[in-house]
Structure 1
């Protein structure tokens, strides 16, 4: 979108005739331009607006949309307010207002903001549903608003309402795809719903949606999103590219745990403007999750800053995690900065856990205990990382050698992690949990370094030691064994390993591990 940056300040000043062809075989509308001197690329940016009088995605709206995705929310809201005054009947405005609320809640993670803003939903949907039913933006906008609120509600524990909103969004998008098969923005929401629900573990959300016949298909969802990501730069819907990549990268990283998540994210994010703070977040998050720690630190250090950007305390937390993953204790500054600026419900316990670890690694047992008490008393347990943090301090202080190896592995420093593990003697590990983790860490590092036979040997020992433990090491070892056997085309052993992972119950991350194992079994079958 950067190439259009200075060209969206005014409405389209020239006459354009747009011929729509909504046959299935045509991916986008056909266009005829009367002024041949004008660049086609510039025209395409303005195409969504003139199509429908009451859903006017004009230059002002497109600029506001761009500002939202750069996380310049104040400027975006100002433009939305101005558009509302000039065109009070423009039904795109409530959709843009919802985008701004969505990203405010994503960045603030504030329950107070959530309780204040969620009341806006109904009025926005009413305005849109009463407007032009012949426009593909009618059902699409209603679906988007429902889907955005479903994603946010999940962060604050409102699972039932989230399930109902996903049901509505799916219904609207399915109907819109039938009415307007060439309106391919439908693929964004349908792809996201299918990918997420197809990988959803057994539980309240999955069971609730299953009663309505909504099950999802991860493979189909990914295919939809990838198709859209590839097609948008060459289409009239290019301005929506950044949003599609945002969701696509999230699905690859957190839903399907794809080995290609980092490479795909870097490839697709390359054409997004460096002025986008959302781009920095996306690149740093995926880099940190996929073991590219130095890239995460570099991205966060060079991220755009200034009063025009929305406050985003999570980025300080992420920098703290990345620095500690290379055993850089300046990480404490970033965790403390996060805790001071944070108004949200997530990562508080986990931040105190990381601060406790630094005290332990520095040899200060009392300091560790002080922060361990903070883990128990502060924050919430809505996020999985905070649940895990509480579970870990309740289990007692970790072995420092295993802790160092864990951190280095998480940062992608696999050889250094193995060096640390070489100094840990299994015979000196008194607890069964520590013996299990020891072999799990050896397995993980060897696998990442391509030593698959060594990895299998250690994973097997982790499974033997840890079958009855609440720690996730044994179940995750069985899962990774299955994936290695799939690579080796030993499908019988792969199936047995995945079933072993599924049959282990009552451990940490049970739903996530079981979900991945079941998805792998589906691919085997």
Structure 2
């Protein structure tokens, strides 16, 4: 039986369980095709299927949920503030549509929770943290209630898994503060467990149409929330079952490859990504392709960053793309072009995400030594031996500034760590802390956090705890919230 046939049988079972139980929440063939198109990023097709469904079954309460998915992925791919301001007013009308429908359906509370959760995730990208917190609170409440009413409705665990994971490892800030006042807390491991069970269960169940969405969120949580060492293996395992016609699959796989030093694989995936007018424009993929090529020290990477900047209508990655163009100029020895791109990194774009904040900080600082820049890029790509060779004849005294001396030891520590040379890594990390603990740069704090992970792997709980606490104790540096949240997660893993 095909996926479509199983889902149609599921819908029929729902509908005929009682005479009206699911009459207004009909995930029929049109809706299933729209949903599938959304998760392949064929949003134009999805809109067409939704339009057909509106004409054929105007009272189907699945329609507003599908329309919200379209808005969500429109904003996820465009990152456009004007699109956000234009579309966010749709939320209340859709919830109103659903609120009048069949309260005996498991989709009644679920659909409302999904709409709230999707808007919370989008608002976080545009700095609307209070509204995002309120929507997470609402979504959590709706899903908990739905779980009690329909304990066998597996889709509840998708939203609950996401809420648990994100809240369980949320860095200090406005969103965490607001949610804590509501008494809402998460548990990262519980969230990961929910996703793992769903990803394994769905393909063998009547809910298998929702598999791609579960994998989408699971990959995000593994990579960006949990910073899990298993992110690459698990994401590649579960995305294997997603159709190659899905642009979202290309995004998930290339992103996790880049974040986990599988650089050549990322380049191959992006080169083979599905293309054409049928797909939603996704300029961020050009940015990722630029990152991947520059990690190999391929100075033609500028083509991809410029393509991103030309096509991008969003608010994120502008400063960071210009910083990368500045680095290319620096590696080419073009000081004039370097200064031009540095000015753009400082003055163009916005400061919604950490990458752009960091790009502005780095652009405002003196130019990095070329050898440290090359080492950094090669390390990010997973080219550890090449990175180590660049620093082989260097020592701390070769660098004149405190920043560069701290970075030199930090880069050495990261390379040795990646090569599983624990003793050398720990020595370099300790030297980084000694050199950089009073500076505004992230090197010392992240060295302490990484040191904690090394000791954790060696089962030295006391030393691991000490290192994580050292990372937490450092304040007023770059990436402070992210590093602190990872260190706190480390302490939790140690039973603290």
CA contact (8 A) 1:401 1:424 kept: no
* Cross-structure match for 1:452: 422
- How far residue 522 of structure 1 moved from its aligned partner, in angstroms, is 1.3
Pairing partner for 2:412 from 442, 463, 483: 442
Secondary structure of 2:299's match? coil
Please list, as runs of the form range in 1=range in 2, the aligned pairs for 1:343-422 lying within 5 A after superposition: 343-422=313-392
CA contact (8 A) 2:3 2:208 kept: no
- How far residue 391 of structure 1 moved from its aligned partner, in angstroms, is 0.3
Secondary structure of 1:303's match? coil
CA contact (8 A) 1:206 1:215 kept: no
- How far residue 130 of structure 1 moved from its aligned partner, in angstroms, is 1.1
The yes-or-no answer on 1:213 pairing with 2:183 is yes
- How far residue 61 of structure 1 moved from its aligned partner, in angstroms, is 0.3
- How far residue 42 of structure 1 moved from its aligned partner, in angstroms, is 5.0
Pairing partner for 1:159 from 125, 129, 138: 129
Structure 1: distance between partners of 2:60 and 2:247 = 28
Please list, as runs of the form range in 1=range in 2, the aligned pairs for 1:152-191 lying within 5 A after superposition: 152-191=122-161
* Cross-structure match for 2:6: 44
- For each residue in 1:71-114, what CA deviation from the matched residue of structure 2 results, as whole angstroms up to 9, or x when unmatched? 00001101101101110100000000000010000001111111
- How far residue 423 of structure 1 moved from its aligned partner, in angstroms, is 4.0
- How far residue 333 of structure 1 moved from its aligned partner, in angstroms, is 0.4
CA contact (8 A) 2:126 2:352 kept: yes
- For each residue in 1:447-494, what CA deviation from the matched residue of structure 2 results, as whole angstroms up to 9, or x when unmatched? 111111110010000011000111101000000111111111111111
- For each residue in 1:118-146, what CA deviation from the matched residue of structure 2 results, as whole angstroms up to 9, or x when unmatched? 11111100111110000000000000000
CA contact (8 A) 1:48 1:58 kept: no
Structure 2: distance between partners of 1:170 and 1:69 = 23
* Cross-structure match for 1:286: 256
Pairing partner for 2:448 from 478, 483, 493: 478
The yes-or-no answer on 1:503 pairing with 2:473 is yes
The yes-or-no answer on 1:339 pairing with 2:301 is no
Secondary structure of 1:330's match? helix
- How far residue 183 of structure 1 moved from its aligned partner, in angstroms, is 0.1
* Cross-structure match for 1:32: none
* Cross-structure match for 2:19: none
* Cross-structure match for 2:285: 315
What is the RMSD of the two structures over their aligned residues, measured on CA atoms?
0.9
The yes-or-no answer on 1:113 pairing with 2:52 is no
* Cross-structure match for 2:232: 262
Pairing partner for 1:74 from 21, 27, 44: 44
| Aligned length, in residue pairs | 487
Structure 2: distance between partners of 1:391 and 1:443 = 23
Structure 2: distance between partners of 1:429 and 1:327 = 22
- How far residue 426 of structure 1 moved from its aligned partner, in angstroms, is 2.3
Structure 2: distance between partners of 1:132 and 1:198 = 33
Secondary structure of 1:264's match? helix
CA contact (8 A) 1:49 1:55 kept: no
Secondary structure of 1:49's match? helix
Pairing partner for 2:23 from 53, 57, 75: 53
- How far residue 41 of structure 1 moved from its aligned partner, in angstroms, is 5.4
Q: TM-score, normalised by structure 2?
A: 0.97
Q: TM-score, normalised by structure 1?
A: 0.92
The yes-or-no answer on 1:297 pairing with 2:259 is no
- How far residue 210 of structure 1 moved from its aligned partner, in angstroms, is 1.1
- How far residue 202 of structure 1 moved from its aligned partner, in angstroms, is 1.8
Pairing partner for 2:114 from 137, 144, 153: 144
* Cross-structure match for 2:458: 488
- How far residue 204 of structure 1 moved from its aligned partner, in angstroms, is 1.4
Pairing partner for 1:424 from 384, 394, 397: 394
- How far residue 424 of structure 1 moved from its aligned partner, in angstroms, is 3.3
Secondary structure of 2:88's match? helix
